[in-house]
Amino acid sequence: MKILVLALLVSAMLSVLGCSRGSDLHEAMESMGDSMKAMSKSEELEQLKKELGDFTAALEVAVQQKVKEEDQLTFDEGLKKVQDGTAKIQQALEQGNADLAKKLLKELHELEEKYHEKLGVED
């Protein structure tokens, strides 16, 4: 259920931000959503590391994108917090602590929901 909600939130965010299909931002958000789904399902440390790497690569593409002028500051603020959260997950994985990484992933999901609300993304 959480996976479905996450996918819907990512899709809604893309439409609110004026992101057309095939754009770099759209592809990055889709990839981030796919990686989050895979991480939430995985219990294997190596798989978590792989998916986090994919997530981080897509995040770096997203950070470079522009959205509607009135949304840009909030968008950038949210992605900076996602970067910070991703770094914490990476640290937990480097320490071999998959349980902590999964807990931090849930916090990252909550952060996503918060910024979707700030940006007016509808569920």
Rg, Å, the chain Cα set: 14
Domains, the chain, ordered by start: 2-118 (1.20.120.10)
pLDDT tens digits for range 10-28:
544 544 444 444 589 889 9
Q: Which residue has the higher pLDDT, 106 or 10?
A: 106
Contacts of 82 (CB under 8 A, 6+ apart): 59, 108, 111, 112
Read off the pTM.
Answer: 0.79
Q: Closest Cα partner for 3 from 48, 42, 33?
A: 33
pLDDT tens digits for range 28-58:
988 999 999 999 999 899 999 999 999 999 9
Positive/negative CA dihedral, 28, 110, 1, 118: negative
**Which amino acid appears at position 85 of this protein?**
G
